[in-house]
Structure 1
Amino acid sequence: MDWDKLRIFHAVADAGSLTHAGDKLNLSQSAVSRQIRALEESLNSTLFHRHARGLILTEQGELLFDATSAMSKRLDAAAARIRDSKEEVFGELRVTTTFGFGTLWLAPRLPHLYEKYPDLKVDLMLEERVLDLPMREADVAIRMKEPSQADLIRKRLMTVQMQLYASRSYIESNGMPTELSDISSHRLICQNPSAAQVGASALLVQNLMTFNPSSLLTVNNYFGVLQGVLHNLGIGVLPDYVTQDFPDLVHVLPQIESADVPVFLAFPEELRHSQRIAAFKEFVQEEIISHRKQLRQMGKL
Protein backbone atom coordinates (compact mmCIF):
# COMPACT_ATOMS: atom_id res chain seq x y z
CA MET A 1 0.00 0.00 0.00
CA ASP A 2 1.30 3.45 -0.96
CA TRP A 3 2.47 5.29 2.18
CA ASP A 4 2.08 8.68 0.53
CA LYS A 5 -1.56 7.99 -0.31
CA LEU A 6 -2.19 6.83 3.27
CA ARG A 7 -0.66 10.05 4.58
CA ILE A 8 -2.96 12.10 2.35
CA PHE A 9 -5.98 9.96 3.29
CA HIS A 10 -5.24 10.49 7.00
CA ALA A 11 -5.03 14.24 6.53
CA VAL A 12 -8.34 14.35 4.64
CA ALA A 13 -10.10 12.14 7.21
CA ASP A 14 -8.74 14.28 10.04
CA ALA A 15 -9.74 17.57 8.38
CA GLY A 16 -13.02 16.38 6.87
CA SER A 17 -12.24 18.40 3.75
CA LEU A 18 -10.09 18.07 0.65
CA THR A 19 -9.34 21.79 0.71
CA HIS A 20 -8.25 21.91 4.36
CA ALA A 21 -6.15 18.78 3.94
CA GLY A 22 -4.53 20.27 0.84
CA ASP A 23 -3.66 23.45 2.74
CA LYS A 24 -2.04 21.38 5.48
CA LEU A 25 -0.10 19.24 2.99
CA ASN A 26 0.73 22.11 0.59
CA LEU A 27 -1.10 20.31 -2.22
CA SER A 28 -3.86 21.47 -4.51
CA GLN A 29 -7.38 20.21 -3.95
CA SER A 30 -7.29 18.39 -7.28
CA ALA A 31 -4.03 16.63 -6.37
CA VAL A 32 -5.50 15.47 -3.05
CA SER A 33 -8.66 14.30 -4.79
CA ARG A 34 -6.66 12.28 -7.33
CA GLN A 35 -4.71 10.53 -4.58
CA ILE A 36 -7.88 9.64 -2.70
CA ARG A 37 -9.53 8.26 -5.85
CA ALA A 38 -6.42 6.20 -6.58
CA LEU A 39 -6.40 4.81 -3.05
CA GLU A 40 -10.10 3.90 -3.25
CA GLU A 41 -9.49 2.16 -6.58
CA SER A 42 -6.55 0.18 -5.17
CA LEU A 43 -8.71 -0.95 -2.22
CA ASN A 44 -11.84 -1.37 -4.36
CA SER A 45 -13.77 0.48 -1.63
CA THR A 46 -15.39 3.87 -1.11
CA LEU A 47 -13.69 5.62 1.80
CA PHE A 48 -15.74 8.82 1.99
CA HIS A 49 -19.33 9.91 1.60
CA ARG A 50 -19.32 13.26 -0.22
CA HIS A 51 -21.86 15.93 0.71
CA ALA A 52 -22.15 19.70 0.59
CA ARG A 53 -20.67 20.29 4.05
CA GLY A 54 -17.61 18.09 3.59
CA LEU A 55 -16.60 14.46 3.78
CA ILE A 56 -17.76 11.69 6.12
CA LEU A 57 -15.90 8.40 6.47
CA THR A 58 -17.63 5.23 5.32
CA GLU A 59 -17.38 2.09 7.43
CA GLN A 60 -14.35 1.04 5.37
CA GLY A 61 -12.90 4.53 5.76
CA GLU A 62 -13.29 4.33 9.54
CA LEU A 63 -11.34 1.06 9.60
CA LEU A 64 -8.52 2.58 7.56
CA PHE A 65 -8.50 5.78 9.65
CA ASP A 66 -8.12 3.72 12.84
CA ALA A 67 -5.09 2.04 11.28
CA THR A 68 -3.50 5.28 10.04
CA SER A 69 -4.14 6.93 13.45
CA ALA A 70 -2.28 4.11 15.17
CA MET A 71 0.53 4.41 12.64
CA SER A 72 0.71 8.16 13.18
CA LYS A 73 1.01 7.79 16.95
CA ARG A 74 3.73 5.18 16.58
CA LEU A 75 5.63 7.42 14.18
CA ASP A 76 5.28 10.33 16.61
CA ALA A 77 6.72 8.14 19.34
CA ALA A 78 9.65 7.16 17.15
CA ALA A 79 10.26 10.79 16.21
CA ALA A 80 10.18 11.78 19.88
CA ARG A 81 12.82 9.19 20.69
CA ILE A 82 14.99 10.34 17.80
CA ARG A 83 14.68 14.00 18.87
CA ASP A 84 15.62 13.31 22.46
CA SER A 85 19.12 14.62 23.12
CA LYS A 86 21.53 12.67 25.28
CA GLU A 87 22.64 15.86 27.00
CA GLU A 88 19.74 18.33 26.77
CA VAL A 89 16.09 18.32 27.78
CA PHE A 90 13.83 20.11 25.34
CA GLY A 91 10.71 19.68 23.24
CA GLU A 92 7.14 18.73 24.18
CA LEU A 93 6.24 16.50 27.11
CA ARG A 94 2.58 15.50 27.37
CA VAL A 95 1.68 14.79 30.99
CA THR A 96 -1.69 13.42 32.08
CA THR A 97 -3.07 13.19 35.60
CA THR A 98 -6.30 13.77 37.46
CA PHE A 99 -7.82 17.24 37.68
CA GLY A 100 -7.38 17.34 41.46
CA PHE A 101 -3.75 16.22 41.60
CA GLY A 102 -2.84 18.32 38.58
CA THR A 103 -4.32 21.57 39.87
CA LEU A 104 -3.63 21.19 43.60
CA TRP A 105 -0.22 19.50 43.66
CA LEU A 106 1.54 19.29 40.29
CA ALA A 107 0.86 22.64 38.59
CA PRO A 108 2.00 24.79 41.55
CA ARG A 109 5.36 22.98 41.49
CA LEU A 110 6.03 23.24 37.75
CA PRO A 111 8.07 26.48 38.12
CA HIS A 112 10.81 24.34 39.65
CA LEU A 113 10.85 22.16 36.53
CA TYR A 114 10.96 25.15 34.17
CA GLU A 115 13.73 26.80 36.18
CA LYS A 116 15.90 23.77 35.49
CA TYR A 117 14.72 23.07 31.93
CA PRO A 118 13.49 26.36 30.39
CA ASP A 119 13.26 24.88 26.87
CA LEU A 120 10.86 22.13 27.92
CA LYS A 121 7.26 22.47 26.74
CA VAL A 122 4.79 20.72 29.04
CA ASP A 123 1.30 19.91 27.80
CA LEU A 124 -0.65 19.18 30.99
CA MET A 125 -3.78 17.12 30.30
CA LEU A 126 -6.04 16.99 33.36
CA GLU A 127 -8.88 14.50 33.21
CA GLU A 128 -10.18 11.50 35.07
CA ARG A 129 -10.21 9.34 31.94
CA VAL A 130 -7.22 7.01 31.74
CA LEU A 131 -5.37 7.92 28.56
CA ASP A 132 -3.75 5.19 26.48
CA LEU A 133 -0.01 5.65 26.91
CA PRO A 134 1.08 2.82 24.56
CA MET A 135 -1.06 4.46 21.85
CA ARG A 136 0.71 7.78 22.58
CA GLU A 137 -2.28 9.71 23.88
CA ALA A 138 0.23 11.05 26.42
CA ASP A 139 3.92 10.58 27.20
CA VAL A 140 3.76 10.14 30.96
CA ALA A 141 0.97 9.73 33.50
CA ILE A 142 0.52 10.17 37.23
CA ARG A 143 -2.33 7.96 38.31
CA MET A 144 -4.14 7.20 41.55
CA LYS A 145 -3.94 3.45 41.00
CA GLU A 146 -1.45 1.04 39.49
CA PRO A 147 -1.70 1.11 35.68
CA SER A 148 -3.03 -2.09 34.15
CA GLN A 149 -1.92 -1.46 30.57
CA ALA A 150 0.86 -3.61 29.17
CA ASP A 151 4.21 -2.26 27.96
CA LEU A 152 4.41 0.43 30.64
CA ILE A 153 7.22 1.26 33.01
CA ARG A 154 5.69 2.22 36.34
CA LYS A 155 6.99 3.56 39.63
CA ARG A 156 5.09 3.95 42.88
CA LEU A 157 5.62 7.53 44.04
CA MET A 158 3.71 7.81 47.31
CA THR A 159 0.36 7.14 48.95
CA VAL A 160 -2.36 9.65 49.77
CA GLN A 161 -5.42 9.50 51.97
CA MET A 162 -8.73 11.32 51.87
CA GLN A 163 -9.36 13.18 55.10
CA LEU A 164 -11.71 15.81 56.51
CA TYR A 165 -10.80 19.51 56.51
CA ALA A 166 -12.46 22.82 57.27
CA SER A 167 -11.35 26.45 57.37
CA ARG A 168 -10.44 28.07 60.68
CA SER A 169 -13.25 30.57 60.21
CA TYR A 170 -15.78 27.79 59.72
CA ILE A 171 -14.63 25.98 62.87
CA GLU A 172 -14.72 29.20 64.89
CA SER A 173 -18.30 29.84 63.76
CA ASN A 174 -19.65 26.28 63.83
CA GLY A 175 -17.52 24.42 66.35
CA MET A 176 -15.12 21.51 66.02
CA PRO A 177 -16.68 18.04 65.66
CA THR A 178 -15.31 15.63 68.25
CA GLU A 179 -16.93 12.42 67.03
CA LEU A 180 -18.27 11.14 63.75
CA SER A 181 -21.92 11.56 64.72
CA ASP A 182 -21.30 15.33 64.96
CA ILE A 183 -21.32 15.39 61.13
CA SER A 184 -25.10 15.60 61.42
CA SER A 185 -24.68 19.24 62.51
CA HIS A 186 -22.47 20.28 59.58
CA ARG A 187 -22.52 20.69 55.81
CA LEU A 188 -20.43 18.05 54.04
CA ILE A 189 -18.52 19.01 50.87
CA CYS A 190 -17.37 16.11 48.72
CA GLN A 191 -17.06 14.80 45.21
CA ASN A 192 -20.29 13.98 43.44
CA PRO A 193 -20.92 10.22 43.76
CA SER A 194 -21.37 10.04 39.97
CA ALA A 195 -17.97 11.68 39.34
CA ALA A 196 -14.96 9.53 38.50
CA GLN A 197 -12.93 9.06 41.68
CA VAL A 198 -10.85 6.51 43.52
CA GLY A 199 -12.78 3.83 45.36
CA ALA A 200 -11.26 4.73 48.74
CA SER A 201 -12.74 8.23 48.54
CA ALA A 202 -16.16 6.93 47.49
CA LEU A 203 -16.23 4.48 50.41
CA LEU A 204 -15.32 7.22 52.89
CA VAL A 205 -18.07 9.49 51.58
CA GLN A 206 -20.59 6.63 51.73
CA ASN A 207 -19.70 6.09 55.37
CA LEU A 208 -20.00 9.80 56.19
CA MET A 209 -23.40 10.01 54.52
CA THR A 210 -24.81 7.45 56.96
CA PHE A 211 -24.45 10.11 59.68
CA ASN A 212 -26.88 12.41 57.85
CA PRO A 213 -24.99 15.69 57.42
CA SER A 214 -27.30 18.68 57.80
CA SER A 215 -26.51 19.89 54.27
CA LEU A 216 -24.52 18.73 51.29
CA LEU A 217 -22.41 20.31 48.55
CA THR A 218 -21.09 17.99 45.86
CA VAL A 219 -18.55 18.95 43.19
CA ASN A 220 -17.08 16.89 40.37
CA ASN A 221 -13.42 17.53 41.34
CA TYR A 222 -11.29 18.23 44.39
CA PHE A 223 -10.41 21.75 43.30
CA GLY A 224 -14.08 22.65 43.66
CA VAL A 225 -14.30 20.87 47.02
CA LEU A 226 -11.29 22.89 48.23
CA GLN A 227 -12.85 26.16 47.11
CA GLY A 228 -15.99 25.33 49.07
CA VAL A 229 -13.92 24.63 52.18
CA LEU A 230 -11.81 27.78 51.82
CA HIS A 231 -15.00 29.84 51.52
CA ASN A 232 -16.29 28.50 54.84
CA LEU A 233 -19.12 26.42 53.41
CA GLY A 234 -18.53 23.29 55.47
CA ILE A 235 -16.33 20.27 56.12
CA GLY A 236 -14.71 18.85 53.02
CA VAL A 237 -13.32 15.47 51.98
CA LEU A 238 -9.91 16.27 50.48
CA PRO A 239 -6.66 14.45 49.69
CA ASP A 240 -4.02 14.97 52.37
CA TYR A 241 -1.51 16.46 49.90
CA VAL A 242 -3.37 19.81 50.09
CA THR A 243 -2.22 20.45 53.67
CA GLN A 244 1.24 21.73 52.72
CA ASP A 245 0.04 24.47 50.37
CA PHE A 246 -2.99 25.47 52.46
CA PRO A 247 -1.67 25.53 56.05
CA ASP A 248 -4.77 27.32 57.40
CA LEU A 249 -6.90 24.25 56.78
CA VAL A 250 -7.97 22.53 60.01
CA HIS A 251 -7.80 18.75 60.09
CA VAL A 252 -11.21 17.60 61.34
CA LEU A 253 -11.72 14.22 63.06
CA PRO A 254 -8.15 13.07 62.31
CA GLN A 255 -9.06 9.48 63.21
CA ILE A 256 -11.33 9.39 60.13
CA GLU A 257 -9.52 8.77 56.86
CA SER A 258 -9.77 6.68 53.73
CA ALA A 259 -7.70 3.65 52.88
CA ASP A 260 -4.31 4.36 51.30
CA VAL A 261 -4.46 5.47 47.67
CA PRO A 262 -1.26 4.61 45.74
CA VAL A 263 0.14 7.19 43.33
CA PHE A 264 2.04 5.83 40.33
CA LEU A 265 4.10 7.43 37.59
CA ALA A 266 3.97 5.51 34.31
CA PHE A 267 5.27 5.87 30.76
CA PRO A 268 5.61 3.63 27.68
CA GLU A 269 8.46 1.18 27.48
CA GLU A 270 9.53 2.75 24.18
CA LEU A 271 10.29 6.04 26.00
CA ARG A 272 12.60 4.37 28.50
CA HIS A 273 15.59 6.39 27.26
CA SER A 274 13.78 9.70 26.84
CA GLN A 275 15.65 12.54 28.52
CA ARG A 276 12.41 14.48 28.95
CA ILE A 277 10.81 11.57 30.81
CA ALA A 278 13.90 11.16 32.98
CA ALA A 279 13.91 14.88 33.82
CA PHE A 280 10.20 14.86 34.71
CA LYS A 281 10.52 11.72 36.81
CA GLU A 282 13.46 13.21 38.73
CA PHE A 283 11.53 16.46 39.24
CA VAL A 284 8.46 14.68 40.66
CA GLN A 285 10.56 12.54 42.99
CA GLU A 286 12.44 15.59 44.29
CA GLU A 287 9.18 17.44 44.89
CA ILE A 288 7.76 14.49 46.82
CA ILE A 289 10.85 14.41 49.05
CA SER A 290 10.50 18.15 49.65
CA HIS A 291 6.76 17.73 50.28
CA ARG A 292 7.36 15.06 52.93
CA LYS A 293 10.12 17.11 54.58
CA GLN A 294 7.84 20.12 54.92
CA LEU A 295 5.01 17.99 56.30
CA ARG A 296 7.39 16.60 58.95
CA GLN A 297 8.39 20.15 59.86
CA MET A 298 4.70 21.03 60.17
CA GLY A 299 4.15 17.99 62.41
CA LYS A 300 1.82 16.33 59.93
CA LEU A 301 3.87 13.20 59.34
Structure 2
Amino acid sequence: MDWDKLRIFHAVADAGSLTHAGDTLHLSQSAVSRQIRALEESLGSTLFHRHARGLILTEQGELLFDATTAMTKRLDAAVARIRDSVEEVFGELRVTTTTGFGSLWLAKRLPKLYQKYPDLKIDLMLEENVLDLPMREADVAIRMKEPSQADLIRLRLMSVKMQLYAVRSYLDAHGTPRTMDDLGEHRLICQNTSSTQVSAGARLVRELMTHPIRSTLTVNNYFGVLQAVLNGLGVGVLPDYVTEDHPELIRVLDQVESNEVPVFLAYPEELRASRRIAAFREFITEQIMEKRQRQRDTS
Protein backbone atom coordinates (compact mmCIF):
# COMPACT_ATOMS: atom_id res chain seq x y z
CA MET A 1 0.00 0.00 0.00
CA ASP A 2 1.31 3.44 -0.99
CA TRP A 3 1.78 5.43 2.25
CA ASP A 4 1.70 8.74 0.40
CA LYS A 5 -1.70 7.98 -1.11
CA LEU A 6 -3.01 6.96 2.32
CA ARG A 7 -1.76 10.23 3.79
CA ILE A 8 -3.55 12.20 1.07
CA PHE A 9 -6.71 10.13 1.48
CA HIS A 10 -6.72 10.80 5.24
CA ALA A 11 -6.37 14.55 4.69
CA VAL A 12 -9.24 14.58 2.17
CA ALA A 13 -11.49 12.49 4.43
CA ASP A 14 -10.69 14.73 7.39
CA ALA A 15 -11.31 17.96 5.44
CA GLY A 16 -14.25 16.72 3.36
CA SER A 17 -12.85 18.66 0.41
CA LEU A 18 -10.14 18.21 -2.21
CA THR A 19 -9.36 21.93 -2.12
CA HIS A 20 -9.00 22.17 1.66
CA ALA A 21 -6.91 18.99 1.77
CA GLY A 22 -4.69 20.38 -0.98
CA ASP A 23 -4.15 23.57 1.02
CA THR A 24 -3.13 21.52 4.05
CA LEU A 25 -0.81 19.29 2.00
CA HIS A 26 0.51 22.12 -0.22
CA LEU A 27 -0.70 20.28 -3.31
CA SER A 28 -2.95 21.37 -6.15
CA GLN A 29 -6.54 20.13 -6.23
CA SER A 30 -5.83 18.19 -9.43
CA ALA A 31 -2.84 16.44 -7.86
CA VAL A 32 -4.91 15.41 -4.84
CA SER A 33 -7.73 14.21 -7.11
CA ARG A 34 -5.33 12.06 -9.16
CA GLN A 35 -3.96 10.39 -6.02
CA ILE A 36 -7.47 9.61 -4.74
CA ARG A 37 -8.51 8.11 -8.09
CA ALA A 38 -5.34 6.02 -8.18
CA LEU A 39 -6.01 4.75 -4.64
CA GLU A 40 -9.61 3.85 -5.51
CA GLU A 41 -8.43 1.98 -8.62
CA SER A 42 -5.83 0.03 -6.63
CA LEU A 43 -8.47 -0.97 -4.06
CA GLY A 44 -11.22 -1.58 -6.60
CA SER A 45 -13.62 0.47 -4.46
CA THR A 46 -15.16 3.92 -4.43
CA LEU A 47 -14.06 5.78 -1.30
CA PHE A 48 -16.08 9.00 -1.62
CA HIS A 49 -19.55 10.05 -2.71
CA ARG A 50 -19.06 13.28 -4.67
CA HIS A 51 -21.69 16.04 -4.72
CA ALA A 52 -21.93 19.82 -4.78
CA ARG A 53 -21.59 20.22 -1.01
CA GLY A 54 -18.35 18.25 -0.79
CA LEU A 55 -17.18 14.68 -0.28
CA ILE A 56 -18.80 12.04 1.91
CA LEU A 57 -17.09 8.75 2.76
CA THR A 58 -18.60 5.56 1.43
CA GLU A 59 -18.81 2.51 3.69
CA GLN A 60 -15.45 1.35 2.29
CA GLY A 61 -14.06 4.84 2.80
CA GLU A 62 -15.18 4.82 6.45
CA LEU A 63 -13.30 1.57 7.02
CA LEU A 64 -10.12 2.97 5.49
CA PHE A 65 -10.46 6.27 7.39
CA ASP A 66 -10.76 4.38 10.70
CA ALA A 67 -7.53 2.56 9.82
CA THR A 68 -5.64 5.69 8.78
CA THR A 69 -6.83 7.51 11.92
CA ALA A 70 -5.45 4.72 14.13
CA MET A 71 -2.21 4.75 12.12
CA THR A 72 -1.87 8.52 12.50
CA LYS A 73 -2.31 8.32 16.27
CA ARG A 74 0.26 5.54 16.54
CA LEU A 75 2.71 7.54 14.43
CA ASP A 76 2.12 10.61 16.63
CA ALA A 77 2.90 8.47 19.68
CA ALA A 78 6.10 7.18 18.06
CA VAL A 79 7.20 10.72 17.15
CA ALA A 80 6.50 11.86 20.71
CA ARG A 81 8.59 9.06 22.14
CA ILE A 82 11.47 9.80 19.78
CA ARG A 83 11.41 13.48 20.64
CA ASP A 84 11.25 12.66 24.33
CA SER A 85 14.49 10.69 24.12
CA VAL A 86 16.47 13.91 24.47
CA GLU A 87 17.16 15.58 27.79
CA GLU A 88 15.25 18.81 27.14
CA VAL A 89 11.55 19.09 27.96
CA PHE A 90 9.79 20.74 25.02
CA GLY A 91 6.96 20.28 22.57
CA GLU A 92 3.22 19.77 22.98
CA LEU A 93 1.68 18.03 25.99
CA ARG A 94 -2.07 17.40 25.78
CA VAL A 95 -3.60 17.36 29.25
CA THR A 96 -7.24 16.51 29.93
CA THR A 97 -9.15 16.96 33.17
CA THR A 98 -12.53 18.16 34.40
CA THR A 99 -13.67 21.75 33.93
CA GLY A 100 -13.74 22.31 37.68
CA PHE A 101 -10.32 20.91 38.54
CA GLY A 102 -8.67 22.38 35.47
CA SER A 103 -10.03 25.90 35.87
CA LEU A 104 -10.07 26.15 39.68
CA TRP A 105 -6.86 24.33 40.62
CA LEU A 106 -4.58 23.30 37.76
CA ALA A 107 -4.56 26.40 35.52
CA LYS A 108 -3.53 28.65 38.42
CA ARG A 109 -0.43 26.55 39.03
CA LEU A 110 0.77 26.21 35.45
CA PRO A 111 2.90 29.41 35.53
CA LYS A 112 5.30 27.57 37.83
CA LEU A 113 5.60 24.74 35.31
CA TYR A 114 6.26 27.17 32.45
CA GLN A 115 8.90 28.95 34.52
CA LYS A 116 10.77 25.68 34.77
CA TYR A 117 10.11 24.49 31.20
CA PRO A 118 9.49 27.58 29.01
CA ASP A 119 9.55 25.56 25.75
CA LEU A 120 6.67 23.31 26.81
CA LYS A 121 3.41 23.74 24.88
CA ILE A 122 0.42 22.57 26.92
CA ASP A 123 -2.94 21.90 25.30
CA LEU A 124 -5.33 21.91 28.27
CA MET A 125 -8.61 20.13 27.42
CA LEU A 126 -11.27 20.76 30.06
CA GLU A 127 -14.31 18.51 29.71
CA GLU A 128 -16.26 15.96 31.66
CA ASN A 129 -16.04 13.27 28.97
CA VAL A 130 -13.33 10.66 29.52
CA LEU A 131 -10.91 10.82 26.59
CA ASP A 132 -9.26 7.67 25.28
CA LEU A 133 -5.60 7.85 26.33
CA PRO A 134 -4.44 4.62 24.59
CA MET A 135 -5.88 6.04 21.34
CA ARG A 136 -3.92 9.26 21.99
CA GLU A 137 -6.91 11.58 22.34
CA ALA A 138 -4.74 13.09 25.11
CA ASP A 139 -1.29 12.40 26.54
CA VAL A 140 -2.07 12.60 30.24
CA ALA A 141 -5.27 12.84 32.28
CA ILE A 142 -6.24 13.92 35.79
CA ARG A 143 -9.46 12.11 36.62
CA MET A 144 -11.87 12.08 39.53
CA LYS A 145 -11.97 8.27 39.64
CA GLU A 146 -9.55 5.44 38.96
CA PRO A 147 -9.19 4.92 35.20
CA SER A 148 -10.57 1.62 33.93
CA GLN A 149 -8.80 1.56 30.56
CA ALA A 150 -6.07 -1.00 30.03
CA ASP A 151 -2.42 -0.16 29.36
CA LEU A 152 -2.41 2.94 31.57
CA ILE A 153 0.01 3.96 34.29
CA ARG A 154 -1.96 5.31 37.28
CA LEU A 155 -0.87 7.49 40.18
CA ARG A 156 -3.28 8.45 42.97
CA LEU A 157 -2.72 12.13 43.76
CA MET A 158 -5.17 12.98 46.53
CA SER A 159 -8.79 12.82 47.62
CA VAL A 160 -11.47 15.48 47.31
CA LYS A 161 -14.73 16.04 49.17
CA MET A 162 -17.68 18.24 48.20
CA GLN A 163 -18.64 20.57 51.05
CA LEU A 164 -20.81 23.65 51.69
CA TYR A 165 -19.31 27.15 51.55
CA ALA A 166 -20.42 30.78 51.69
CA VAL A 167 -18.77 34.19 52.08
CA ARG A 168 -18.94 36.47 55.13
CA SER A 169 -21.09 39.12 53.43
CA TYR A 170 -23.77 36.56 52.64
CA LEU A 171 -23.73 35.02 56.13
CA ASP A 172 -23.90 38.46 57.77
CA ALA A 173 -26.94 39.32 55.68
CA HIS A 174 -28.79 36.00 55.88
CA GLY A 175 -27.42 34.22 58.94
CA THR A 176 -25.33 31.06 59.24
CA PRO A 177 -27.22 27.77 58.89
CA ARG A 178 -26.64 25.51 61.90
CA THR A 179 -28.77 22.54 60.87
CA MET A 180 -30.03 21.03 57.63
CA ASP A 181 -33.46 22.51 58.39
CA ASP A 182 -31.84 25.97 58.51
CA LEU A 183 -30.52 25.41 54.99
CA GLY A 184 -34.10 25.59 53.76
CA GLU A 185 -34.03 29.35 54.38
CA HIS A 186 -31.01 29.87 52.13
CA ARG A 187 -30.29 29.78 48.40
CA LEU A 188 -28.42 26.60 47.45
CA ILE A 189 -25.90 26.89 44.62
CA CYS A 190 -24.79 23.61 43.06
CA GLN A 191 -24.34 21.59 39.93
CA ASN A 192 -27.52 20.20 38.48
CA THR A 193 -27.68 16.47 39.21
CA SER A 194 -28.36 15.82 35.51
CA SER A 195 -25.05 17.44 34.49
CA THR A 196 -21.94 15.31 34.12
CA GLN A 197 -20.03 15.26 37.41
CA VAL A 198 -18.53 12.86 39.92
CA SER A 199 -21.18 10.62 41.44
CA ALA A 200 -20.30 11.61 45.03
CA GLY A 201 -21.11 15.24 44.29
CA ALA A 202 -24.39 14.36 42.59
CA ARG A 203 -25.42 12.16 45.53
CA LEU A 204 -24.76 14.97 48.00
CA VAL A 205 -26.84 17.43 45.96
CA ARG A 206 -29.70 14.92 45.68
CA GLU A 207 -29.60 14.49 49.45
CA LEU A 208 -29.67 18.25 50.01
CA MET A 209 -32.59 18.61 47.62
CA THR A 210 -34.71 16.30 49.79
CA HIS A 211 -34.98 19.24 52.20
CA PRO A 212 -37.36 22.13 51.46
CA ILE A 213 -34.80 24.51 49.94
CA ARG A 214 -36.31 27.99 49.44
CA SER A 215 -34.28 28.98 46.38
CA THR A 216 -31.69 27.32 44.15
CA LEU A 217 -29.18 28.23 41.47
CA THR A 218 -27.82 25.34 39.42
CA VAL A 219 -24.78 25.62 37.17
CA ASN A 220 -23.22 22.97 34.94
CA ASN A 221 -19.68 23.33 36.36
CA TYR A 222 -17.94 24.23 39.62
CA PHE A 223 -16.36 27.37 38.17
CA GLY A 224 -19.82 28.89 37.83
CA VAL A 225 -20.81 27.69 41.31
CA LEU A 226 -17.70 29.32 42.80
CA GLN A 227 -18.33 32.66 41.08
CA ALA A 228 -21.89 32.72 42.38
CA VAL A 229 -20.76 31.94 45.93
CA LEU A 230 -17.98 34.56 45.86
CA ASN A 231 -20.56 37.14 44.77
CA GLY A 232 -22.74 36.41 47.79
CA LEU A 233 -25.63 34.63 46.06
CA GLY A 234 -25.92 31.81 48.58
CA VAL A 235 -24.44 28.62 50.03
CA GLY A 236 -22.59 26.54 47.46
CA VAL A 237 -21.56 22.92 47.04
CA LEU A 238 -17.87 23.03 46.09
CA PRO A 239 -14.84 20.73 46.10
CA ASP A 240 -12.65 21.34 49.14
CA TYR A 241 -9.54 22.12 47.06
CA VAL A 242 -10.95 25.58 46.21
CA THR A 243 -10.35 26.84 49.77
CA GLU A 244 -6.59 26.93 49.24
CA ASP A 245 -6.88 29.73 46.69
CA HIS A 246 -9.98 31.35 48.18
CA PRO A 247 -9.52 31.79 51.94
CA GLU A 248 -12.58 34.06 51.97
CA LEU A 249 -14.76 30.95 51.66
CA ILE A 250 -16.30 29.91 54.98
CA ARG A 251 -17.42 26.35 55.45
CA VAL A 252 -20.94 25.92 56.80
CA LEU A 253 -22.64 22.80 58.17
CA ASP A 254 -19.33 21.06 58.87
CA GLN A 255 -21.07 17.71 59.25
CA VAL A 256 -22.32 17.82 55.63
CA GLU A 257 -19.95 16.52 52.96
CA SER A 258 -19.74 13.98 50.17
CA ASN A 259 -17.83 10.73 50.19
CA GLU A 260 -14.16 10.96 49.24
CA VAL A 261 -13.46 11.34 45.53
CA PRO A 262 -10.06 9.88 44.50
CA VAL A 263 -8.00 11.97 42.08
CA PHE A 264 -5.76 10.02 39.70
CA LEU A 265 -3.11 11.00 37.19
CA ALA A 266 -2.93 8.59 34.26
CA TYR A 267 -1.03 8.23 30.99
CA PRO A 268 -0.41 5.47 28.42
CA GLU A 269 2.15 2.79 29.16
CA GLU A 270 3.86 3.57 25.86
CA LEU A 271 4.67 7.09 27.15
CA ARG A 272 6.42 5.78 30.26
CA ALA A 273 9.77 7.21 29.11
CA SER A 274 8.34 10.58 27.98
CA ARG A 275 10.30 13.53 29.37
CA ARG A 276 7.25 15.77 29.09
CA ILE A 277 5.06 13.32 31.00
CA ALA A 278 7.73 12.94 33.68
CA ALA A 279 8.06 16.72 34.04
CA PHE A 280 4.29 17.15 34.35
CA ARG A 281 3.95 14.23 36.79
CA GLU A 282 6.72 15.58 39.02
CA PHE A 283 5.21 19.08 38.90
CA ILE A 284 1.74 17.88 39.93
CA THR A 285 3.19 15.69 42.68
CA GLU A 286 5.21 18.62 44.04
CA GLN A 287 2.13 20.85 44.06
CA ILE A 288 0.13 18.22 45.96
CA MET A 289 2.93 17.77 48.51
CA GLU A 290 3.19 21.54 49.03
CA LYS A 291 -0.58 21.69 49.54
CA ARG A 292 -0.42 18.98 52.20
CA GLN A 293 2.47 20.73 53.95
CA ARG A 294 0.54 24.01 54.06
CA GLN A 295 -2.46 22.19 55.53
CA ARG A 296 -0.24 20.66 58.24
CA ASP A 297 1.33 24.05 59.01
CA THR A 298 -2.07 25.70 59.49
CA SER A 299 -3.69 22.85 61.45
TM tier, shorter chain?
over 0.9
Residue 295 of structure 1 deviates from its aligned partner by 2.5
Q: Does 1:103 align with 2:139?
A: no
Amino acid at match of 2:290: S
User: What CA distance in whole angstroms lies between the structure 2 residues aligned with 1:295 and 1:165?
Assistant: 18
Map 1:1-301 onto structure 2 (within 5 A): 1-299=1-299
CA–CA distance in structure 2, aligned partners of residues 212 and 294 of structure 1: 38
1:157-216 per-position Cα deviation (integer Å, ceiling 9, x unaligned): 000000000011111111111111211111100001111011100111111111121101
C-alpha contact (below 8 Å) 1:153/1:268 kept by paired residues: yes
d(CA) in 2 for partners of 1:251 and 1:118? 38
Contact 1:184/1:213, CA 8 A, preserved across alignment: yes
Q: Which amino acid aligns with 1:180?
A: M
2:173 aligns to what SS in structure 1? helix
Secondary structure of the residue that 2:262 maps to in structure 1?
Answer: strand
Report Cα offsets for 1:234-265 as digits up to 9, x if no partner.
10000000001000100011111100000000
1:18-62 alpha-carbon deviations (Å, 9 max, x no partner): 122122222222221111111111222111111122211112211
Q: Which moved more, 1:10-19 or 1:217-226?
A: 10-19
Partner SS for 2:155: strand
Which range moves more in the overlay, 201-210 or 78-87? 78-87
Amino acid of the structure 2 residue aligned with 1:166? A
Provide the TM-score with structure 2 as the length reference.
Answer: 0.98
Q: Deviations over 1:262-294 (max 9, x none)?
A: 000000011000000000000000001111222
Letter matched to residue 212 of structure 2: N
SS of 2:190's equivalent in the other structure is strand
State the 1:298 CA deviation: 3.4
SS at 1:176 equivalent: coil
- Contact 1:98/1:128 (CA < 8 Å) preserved in 2? yes
Give the aligned residue type for 1:95: V
Partner letter of residue 163 of structure 1?
A: Q
Q: How many residues align?
A: 299
> In 2, Cα distance between the equivalents of 1:298 and 1:192?
33
Calculate the TM-score normalised by the size of structure 1: 0.97
The separation in 2 between residues aligned to 1:257 and 1:242, in whole angstroms, is 14
Query: 1:244 touches 1:294 (CA, 8 Å); kept in 2?
Result: no
C-alpha displacement of 1:86: 3.4
Q: In structure 2, the residue corresponding to 1:27 is in which secondary structure?
A: coil
Q: Distance in 1 between matches of 2:27 and 2:91?
A: 28
- In 2, the alpha carbon distance for the partners of 1:81 and 1:212 equals 56
Identity value in percent:
76
